[in-house]
Each structure stands twice: as structure tokens, then as C-alpha cells.
Amino acid sequence: MAGESRRDGRRFAAGLELAAVIATFSLALVAGPVASAIPARVARQLRSAPVPPSQLEPTRTIHLPGGGTVHQFQREVDGVPVLGAQAVVNDPPGAPPRLVSETGTGAVSAPPEPAVSKATAMAIAEAKVGASQLRGRPSARLVLVPKGSGILAWAVSIPSAQPLGDFEVNVDARWSDVLSVRNLLRDFQRGTAKIFVPNPVVSNNGDVGLHDKGGRNSKRLNRLRFRVKLHRLVDHQHCLKGRFAKVLVGRHEDPVCRRSLNWSRIRRSNDKFEALMAYYHVDHEQSYVQSLGFHNVDNRRQVVLADKIRDDNSFFSPFTRTLTLGTGGVDDGEDADVISHEYGHSIQNSESPAFLRSTSLEAGSLAEGSADYMAAVMSAQDRGTNNTDDVCIFDWDAQTWGTLFPSLNRHCGRRADNPSTLSQEESNQRDCSNGFPTGPIDVHCVGTVWSSALWKLRQSIGLDSAEQAVMDRDMIASQFMYKHNERFRSAAKALLAADTDLYGGAHQAAIQTEMIDRGICPGTGC
């Protein structure tokens, strides 16, 4: 698929320059907004660059559990902040500091004197949003909008009661034009539905005496639904559109709407059932990721196209950034494992787009393995599940095999407790869901080595002091370090680096041992 654009390459180069500039800055080591002296070890790792040091102002220093420190900077030109122009430097214990992210490094000219007064700009902004009643006092500050060489503007903040919103309006400080309007208010409502959590096989204690029968309703399947709340639906509308998900259904991508927001009577024979499943489980997964402390991982509204295709297949598209669920066999949208797995690919694309665009065997296997791991993780968050349920992935979607082969007990599409080593799995030219020969090596099968290694570590390491799964946090953090044509060994190194960032390397020995045992790293270690 498409690689990074030339603009991305220039931004990366600019990022290296920005990292070097930070060496000249003063920085406080105590949590707080400003700074005094940069540690010598930080200064030694960074180099000077052409960008004027005076354009980066330290704004915040945060100490992480385990001893790491995060330094945040805001770019300013002649004391005027550049919108969206920040830099973040991570200083982990026992390792050199590194630039985590940077934005807004393009050339920006010194701002002129404003020709539009603050009061005038505020009046223009209030008129633009039609604020007839306020919840608080409006305010305004001068900013530089990074367009061209920079546009001086008044950033007006309006806490409006009518219409309801926290409106940020940028008004050109020279020509009085309204450059942009955004509502920053996070105002959401909840709906209700009865769905599978995570799927009927789990709810039926693993009993495979359940049959799809072409998606028809049955008393047994109806009883296996759970009543759930659909959180974070956007206020003042009546459809499946929320903070983290927007779901459309069918070949024509119809919206799923109900004025009462109560879809509890919808059963599986209705296509809206898969849409409700998709909304709940995507919202749940993103909410879980954020609960682990990651607010910069696919934090957006994921569009899901439920029952869009008739194939027994589902996929995430890096080009359109949409998630599509098929209806072949058991409708994929009826199994939360499928939804969580595909959304796992969206998470990967958010963290490292270059990685998901690779076609190599190892990169593809890592992508599938990590997505399988997320399906197992999300099963573990659901009510009444146990390890047997969690490691058996796609056990409702895979029931077609149970119909074809009645001797099979609970059938798993894939498993996250595969004991194989990497070389063993790469030598098996078979389909990992049924054991039949396939010819080419299947990335999904090889991926089970990775998902199973992560799951075994999750079980052995357990929770941190904040009652969060260590391996979930390490895995998500490590994917920021994935690159195009990522390999198993470098992914293991990324996992070790993430553990250093988050936990000071407290779990290095366990990770090294598992990676060596799996044949991912040599006996000497990763």
C-alpha cells in the first residue's frame, strides 16, 4: 500500500531538528508548568539546530511511574503561541531521552501588530456562533494559525448556553475574517440495547449446541443477550454516532436511528443487531485503551460498516480508515472477537501507518497476532468470561465448522494459547482454524505465536500497582515503535523498550525469557 508522503519525510526531518533544538532549553525536573535547568544527561543526548531556541517554551513536566519524565513544550514566536505546535520529549530511566512527538515545525514569520481589537474579535465570534445566552465569561488571546507563514488571529473562547457548546473561534486579527469554529464541549448521551457480550458461545458456557440457521431468531439465542448501555452517543441526535464510533448498516450504509435511543427489542434477525454490536464493542475497546493511559491511540470516531458485504470476511481499510463487517456464515458483527480484532488493526494504523502497509510475512503475522491479542484482552474485560473463553477467538463466527464437523467440540477460529515456536509455526503450511493444508504459510497461523507469547506474559506478569494489565500497556506502547516490514525480533525489542518507558524495565527478564523460548530472539537475548 501507499508509503509515507514526501511531506511526512520533511516533517520527520524537521522533528529531528526540533529534538536537537530542545538541548538548549531549560527544563524543571519537578511536576509543574515551567522549568529551570535541563539535566546534563539530557543535554549530552541532544544537539543544537537552526530553529531559534526562544521559539519553544516549556509548559509542563510530568513524572511517570517507574522514574521516567515527560517534558512538554509549546512553540511561540515573539511570545505568541503557534496553534497546534507542540513538542514532547520522553526521558526514561536508564536510557537516553528521545523526542516522542512534534507538530508545527514549519517556518512561521514574526507576527504583525493586530489591526482588529480584542473586543471586536469577541463580538464577531459571538455573532458567528449565535450565542444568545452564555454559561461563563468569553475570553480571547492572540495566536498564530500555522497557514502559510502564519496568520495572526484572536482565539476567542465562548462558553455558550444557547446554543450549548464550548466554542473556539479564530478571528483574523488583521482582516476580521472568521478562520475556523470548533465546539470543544464533550456532551454525550446514552442508549440501550440487548446484544451478545462477547458472543453466545461464551454466554452459553462454551456449549456448541447453538446454530446460526441463516441468522434467524431463536428463543435460546435471544436469552443469551445482555442488556447494555451505549455510552458516549453524541447529544441532540438519535443515531449510532458517538465519541468513538459511528455505525452504518447494509449495502447502502444506512444510519441506525431511534428517537428513544432504546434498541432493546432488536434481535439478531434484524441487521441493526450487528450495528448495535459494533457500536458497543468498538466504544468499549477504545474506552479500555484510554483507561490504560493512552489518549493518543486512535482517539477518533471510527466508522463501521456493518453487514456491508456478503463475504465471510471483515477488514479494516488503511485507505478509508473504515471497518467493514461481512455476513457470510455467521454474521461477523455477531461476534465481538471479530469486531475487537479488526479494531485492533485500526489501533495499529493509528500508531504506525507504515507498519500496517507492509506485505512481509513477519509484519503481517505481527499485525494479525497483535489484533488477536486485543480480541482476547477485550474478552477478558467482559462479564463472566474466563481464560478458556478469552484464548478461544472467533468461537461464534467459527461455528460453521462445528456444523460441518459435528465431532468438533467448541471450535476456535484461532487460539491465543498456541505453544509453538516461531520456526515450528512457519514450517506448518496449514490453516490454523481447521488444520487443513493451505500451501503458503498463513500469516494468521504464524501470528498466533506472537499473540500467545503476549498472552502468556499477561498471565504470568499480571497487574501493576494501579490494577492495570502490564502487558496490555507494554504492547500498546510498543506499537508506536513499529516500522515498515517490522520483524519479530525488533517487535520484541520494542516491547522491552516500552517496558523500560512504563515500568523502568521491571519485567525485562520475563519478556526476554518468553521471546527466547518462542525462538523470536536468540539464546543471548533480544
pLDDT tens-digit series, residues 117-174: 999 999 999 999 998 888 889 999 999 998 888 999 999 999 887 877 789 999 999 9
Is residue 356 assigned to a domain? no
The residue assigned the cell 440495547 is 193
Number of structural domains (the chain) is 4
Is residue 205 assigned to a domain? yes
Is residue 358 assigned to a domain? no
Q: Which residues make Cβ contacts (< 8 Å) with residue 327, sequence separation at least 6?
A: 215, 274, 307, 309, 310, 311
Domain boundary pick from 157, 183, 209: 183
Domain boundary pick from 134, 166, 183: 183
Measured distance CA(377)–CA(343) in Å, rounded = 13
Residues 206 and 295 in one domain: yes
Residues 389 and 504 in one domain: yes
Q: How do residues 202-222 score in pLDDT, each as one tens digit?
A: 999 887 678 888 899 999 999
Taking a C-beta distance cutoff of 8 angstroms, is the pair 446, 361 a contact?
A: yes
**Closest-CA residue to 80 (of 52, 105, 55, 102):** 55
Query: Diameter of the chain by CA atoms?
Result: 81
Is residue 192 assigned to a domain? yes
Residues 290 and 409 in one domain: no
The whole-number pLDDT of residue 505 equals 96
For 157, the domain range is 118-183
Residues 164 and 203 in one domain: no
Q: How do residues 279-309 score in pLDDT, each as one tens digit?
A: 999 999 999 999 999 998 999 999 999 999 9
In the predicted model, is pLDDT for residue 463 greater than 60? Answer: yes
Q: Which residues make Cβ contacts (< 8 Å) with residue 260, sequence separation at least 6?
A: none
Mean pLDDT score of the chain, rounded to an integer? 84
Q: Residue 255's beta-bridge partner residues? A: 248
Residues 285 and 395 in one domain: no
The whole-number pLDDT of residue 476 equals 96
Residues 154 and 246 in one domain: no
Measured distance CA(240)–CA(385) in Å, rounded = 27
State the CATH number of the domain containing residue 144: 3.10.450
Residues 168 and 196 in one domain: no
Is residue 452 assigned to a domain? yes
In the predicted model, is pLDDT for residue 248 greater than 90? Answer: yes
Residues 56 and 152 in one domain: no
Phi and psi, residue 90, nearest 5° = -100, 130
In the predicted model, is pLDDT for residue 12 greater than 70? Answer: no
Residues 173 and 192 in one domain: no
Measured distance CA(454)–CA(436) in Å, rounded = 26
Among 54-63, 301-310, 357-366, which is the least confidently predicted range? 54-63
CA-based torsion, 460, 464, 470, 472: positive or negative: positive
Measured distance CA(12)–CA(73) in Å, rounded = 17
Is residue 313 assigned to a domain? yes
Domain boundary pick from 164, 183, 202: 183
From residue 371, alpha-carbon distances to 125, 127, 320 in Å are 45, 48, 19
Calculate the CA 397 to chain-centre distance: 24
In the predicted model, is pLDDT for residue 105 greater than 70? Answer: no
- pTM metric for this prediction: 0.67
Residues 147 and 89 in one domain: no
In the predicted model, is pLDDT for residue 180 greater than 50? Answer: yes
Residues 30 and 88 in one domain: yes
Q: How do residues 308-336 score in pLDDT, each as one tens digit?
A: 999 888 999 998 999 999 998 899 999 99
Is residue 279 assigned to a domain? yes
